[in-house]
Structure 1
Amino acid sequence: MRRRLIQSTLAVVLVVVAVFGVSLILVESRSIENSAQDGVKSEAVQLVSVVESRIVAGERVSPGTMGNAVPKNRYVRIEVPGRRAITLGERPEGRVLEASQTGGHGERITVQRSYSSVQEEIGRTLMIILAVALLAVAAAAILAVRQAHRVAAPLTDLAETAERLGSGDPRPRHRRYGVPELDRVADVLDGSADRIGRMLTAERRLAADASHQLRTPLTALSMRLEEIIATADTDDPEDRATVKEEATIALAQVERLTDVVQRLLTNSRDPRSGSAVDFDLDEVLKQQVEEWKPACRNEGRAIVRSGKPGVRAVGTPGAVAQVLATLIENSLMHGSGTVALRTRVTGNQVVVEVTDQGPGVDPQLGSRVFERTVSGHNSTGLGLAVARDLAEADGGRLELLQQHPPVFALFLGREVSGAAGTSEDAAR
């Protein structure tokens, strides 16, 4: 590209120099020739004046008396009526410039000048014009090289930026070059870098969320399968019923796990996309209690639920189940005593509180427990952050109401149908 810019610039300059140079040479040549012709004519007029003054004064007109009046390198012929013609200087050969002038007493003066002197002057002028043209071309070449570097260097830099984007380095460079078109390209590349950076961040976040969210249902599923294996080899009808029940619960966990994967993929495309519906909250709470009973029993602990029954909430059942599973798992990992789930209604919201009898949340952390990578027990720090994102995706929210003992509250919307719902709320 630099070569093309230099060549195109030089080509334009050469055309301009050629056009104006040729025109200037023609004009100057004609001007020098006309000036020389006018000079010869002026010399003839002066000589006529000198001859005429001598004739009037009665002085002799001869080569000796006229020698000082004749310019050097000129051929002059003086013709006076009744006298012999006088010639001064050498008659030039070849092309000449000639001028004749007649005086008031009939004298005639003819002056000739060799054209070679005019050609020499034209040649000197031509050399000067060529020298100026060469200087102009040299200056144009220097400017073309600088301009090509000014344009090509930013393009090379932009190409490197695009290559960095392609290699997975989405950091914007924020470089501008003072050329509007190139700055526009730089703006587009920086914008693309920002978008790619956000996409990569979303992909990494999806991977982290997936690994964390899938761990909880897989843990519960493995416990259910262990229960099935433990009661598989039995002839007791009651045990076989237990096996069937455990298998049904395990199948439900697999379906929920599939729903979690689908939700993760959906959120990776658009985190605001939700599928909130009106659902029976008791079913989700019952499901969670049944799923986590084996884990609590293995830890020598219990899980209970209380509060207002028959409440319908607005949200995504799978997401709500995942949030509750995260809170229960945290209670098992970091708390102690009974894990309690309590349901209550406040205004147009349903609140599910999850608490235990453990030491609670470190006072230094407070509400920062919902931030990613923030953890007080050397865990990943993703669980509560992901749970809050899931709650907010359906228009709810997850809060820490009390640090000791720990009380986490999941707020969900609920549908109130007409006056009946209003009177029922008032009765409460």
Structure 2
Amino acid sequence: MRRRLINSTLAVVLVVIAVFGISLVLVEARTIKEAAQESVESDAVRLMSVVDGRLAGGDRVGPEILREQVAAGRYARVELDGAPDLEIGERPAGEVIEAEVTGDMGERITVRESAAVVGDQIGRAVLIILGVSLLAVLAALLLALWQARRLTAPLTDLADTAERLGSGDPRPRHRRYGVPELDRVADVLDASAERIGRMLTAERRLAADASHQLRTPLTALSMRLEEISGTDDPETVKEEAAIALGQVERLTDVVQRLLTNSRDPRTGSAVSFDLDEVVKQQVEEWRPAYRSAGRAVVCSGKKGLRAVGTPGAVSQVLATLVENSLMHGAGTVALRTRVTGNQVVVEVADEGPGVSPALGARVFERTVSGRNSTGIGLAVARDLAEADGGRLELLQQRPPVFALFLSREADGT
């Protein structure tokens, strides 16, 4: 494209110079010839006036007087009746420019100039025109190079941006070039980059969330299946199978909620539910794991509470807290329910070292972890709580106390 711009610009300039340059040469040559002819005629008329004046006064007409009236390089001849001809200057050879004047007393004056002098003047004029044309071509070439660079460099840059987008680098460059059309393309590419970046972030977040959220119910389901495989009691198998089926249903709910949150993180399906059932279900599901670790998980607090939210999401939040206590805490884990204002609260506490002061409230930020974990669990749990209009907070750092706040049913106790 750069070569095409340069070639097209030079072609236009050359055509303009050729048209106007040739016309200018023709006009200048004609002007020089006419000026030379007028100058020769002027010399002839001037000589005639001098000769007439001398003859009218009865004075002698000599070459020394007439020589001052003839321009250098020209030839003049004065023809007088009854007197020899007077010649001034050297007779030119070849083509000449000539002017002849006849006086009242029969005298005749002829002035000549070599056409070569006029040719030299025309040649100098042509050289000047060619020099100006050459400068015009050089200026046009520099302008074409600048304009081509000004247009092609942004296009190359935009092509690189598009290639980066195609290779998976969605960072917008926010570069503008002072050309409205190119700036419009840059705006579109930057907007596309931001959209692609958001989409990639959402996909990575969905993958990370799915990996973390599915791990907990799958772990619980695996423990139930181990219980089934390790017993021959039909009643125990039946009980554990029923619990496992319930966990499968909750696992399905987790997957559905993940897909819903990936489209709109604030989309909830809040309903009124029995909070005691959710807390009891979590205690029963995690008790085998705690028993294997030589620890206990218990629940206490106010009973008969009804909250507004998504049971599956609340179960997932509590499961995250209980699992964190199992992995990073110590001693007995206690789930306690209480009421504050128009909200119900589920507190999860253990006897471990808790959250370091350096982390504080940042423990809910993604990728922030003080125990070499992924740092996703608490962030996802907070998102789940906020999606139903609740909130998840760290009430106490050492020993740790996390609290899930949910809206209380209007007619609840």
TM range (shorter): 0.7 to 0.9
Structure 1 counterpart of 2:167, which letter?
S
| Distance in 2 between residues matched to 1:60 and 1:330, nearest whole Å | 136
Alignment partner of 2:249 out of 240, 255, 258: 255
| Distance in 2 between residues matched to 1:273 and 1:10, nearest whole Å | 63
Tell me what 1:236 maps to: none
Q: Secondary structure at the match of 1:153?
A: helix
Q: Secondary structure at the match of 2:26?
A: helix
* Alpha-carbon contact 1:102-1:109 (below 8 Å) kept: yes
Q: Calculate the aligned-residue CA RMSD, in Å.
A: 3.1
Tell me what 1:39 maps to: 39
| Distance in 2 between residues matched to 1:169 and 1:332, nearest whole Å | 39
Tell me what 1:169 maps to: 169
Structure 1 counterpart of 2:362, which letter?
R
Structure 1 counterpart of 2:46, which letter?
Q
Gaps of 5+ in 1: 234-238
Q: Secondary structure at the match of 1:139?
A: helix
Aligned residue pairs: how many? 411
Alignment partner of 1:348 out of 332, 342, 359: 342
TM-superposed CA distance for 1:307, in Å, is: 3.3
Tell me what 1:299 maps to: 293
Q: Secondary structure at the match of 1:224?
A: helix
TM-superposed CA distance for 1:315, in Å, is: 2.1
TM-superposed CA distance for 1:334, in Å, is: 2.9
* Alpha-carbon contact 2:43-2:69 (below 8 Å) kept: no
TM-superposed CA distance for 1:363, in Å, is: 4.0
Structure 1 counterpart of 2:258, which letter?
L
Structure 2 counterpart of 1:25, which letter?
V
Q: Secondary structure at the match of 2:209?
A: helix
| Distance in 2 between residues matched to 1:301 and 1:412, nearest whole Å | 28
Tell me what 1:159 maps to: 159
Percent identity over the alignment is 73
Deviates more, 1:204-213 or 1:353-362: 353-362
Q: How does 1:119-134 map to 2 (within 5 A)?
A: 119-134=119-134
* Residues 1:228 and 2:228 aligned together: yes
Q: Secondary structure at the match of 2:99?
A: strand
Q: How does 1:264-303 map to 2 (within 5 A)?
A: 264-303=258-297
Structure 2 counterpart of 1:394, which letter?
D
TM-superposed CA distance for 1:159, in Å, is: 2.4
Cα 1:22/1:312, change in 2 over 3 Å: farther
Tell me what 1:54 maps to: 54
Cα 1:291/1:97, change in 2 over 3 Å: same
TM-superposed CA distance for 1:125, in Å, is: 0.9
TM-superposed CA distance for 1:130, in Å, is: 1.1
| Distance in 2 between residues matched to 1:272 and 1:395, nearest whole Å | 9
| Distance in 1 between residues matched to 2:255 and 2:204, nearest whole Å | 15
* Alpha-carbon contact 2:282-2:315 (below 8 Å) kept: yes
* Alpha-carbon contact 1:75-1:92 (below 8 Å) kept: no
TM-score, normalised by the number of residues in structure 1? 0.83
Q: Secondary structure at the match of 1:135?
A: helix
The CA deviation string for residues 342-395 of structure 1, in whole angstroms up to 9 with x for no partner, is 222322222112223444333443323223333333333222122112112222
Tell me what 1:203 maps to: 203
Alignment partner of 2:362 out of 352, 358, 368: 368
Structure 2 counterpart of 1:36, which letter?
A
The CA deviation string for residues 99-118 of structure 1, in whole angstroms up to 9 with x for no partner, is 34454545443434444432
Alignment partner of 1:312 out of 306, 309, 313: 306
| Distance in 2 between residues matched to 1:293 and 1:415, nearest whole Å | 29
TM-superposed CA distance for 1:67, in Å, is: 6.2
| Distance in 1 between residues matched to 2:297 and 2:365, nearest whole Å | 27
* Alpha-carbon contact 1:361-1:406 (below 8 Å) kept: yes
* Alpha-carbon contact 1:221-1:254 (below 8 Å) kept: yes
Q: Secondary structure at the match of 1:374?
A: coil
| Distance in 1 between residues matched to 2:356 and 2:138, nearest whole Å | 77
Deviates more, 1:336-345 or 1:130-139: 336-345
Cα 1:92/1:295, change in 2 over 3 Å: same
Structure 1 counterpart of 2:221, which letter?
L
Alignment partner of 2:403 out of 390, 406, 409: 409
| Distance in 1 between residues matched to 2:369 and 2:91, nearest whole Å | 116
| Distance in 2 between residues matched to 1:35 and 1:227, nearest whole Å | 122
TM-superposed CA distance for 1:187, in Å, is: 4.8
| Distance in 2 between residues matched to 1:395 and 1:69, nearest whole Å | 114
Cα 1:59/1:260, change in 2 over 3 Å: same
| Distance in 2 between residues matched to 1:296 and 1:332, nearest whole Å | 7
| Distance in 2 between residues matched to 1:344 and 1:66, nearest whole Å | 134
Cα 1:64/1:248, change in 2 over 3 Å: same
TM-superposed CA distance for 1:183, in Å, is: 4.8
Q: Secondary structure at the match of 1:293?
A: helix
| Distance in 1 between residues matched to 2:154 and 2:61, nearest whole Å | 83
* Alpha-carbon contact 1:170-1:196 (below 8 Å) kept: yes
TM-superposed CA distance for 1:242, in Å, is: 3.0
* Alpha-carbon contact 1:77-1:85 (below 8 Å) kept: no
Structure 2 counterpart of 1:131, which letter?
G
Tell me what 2:141 maps to: 141
Cα 1:44/1:294, change in 2 over 3 Å: same
* Alpha-carbon contact 1:92-1:112 (below 8 Å) kept: no
| Distance in 1 between residues matched to 2:144 and 2:358, nearest whole Å | 65
TM-superposed CA distance for 1:225, in Å, is: 0.7
Structure 2 counterpart of 1:307, which letter?
G
Q: Secondary structure at the match of 2:288?
A: helix
* Alpha-carbon contact 1:75-1:87 (below 8 Å) kept: no
The CA deviation string for residues 131-155 of structure 1, in whole angstroms up to 9 with x for no partner, is 2212221232233224323432333
Structure 2 counterpart of 1:346, which letter?
T
TM-superposed CA distance for 1:25, in Å, is: 1.6
Gaps of 5+ in 2: none
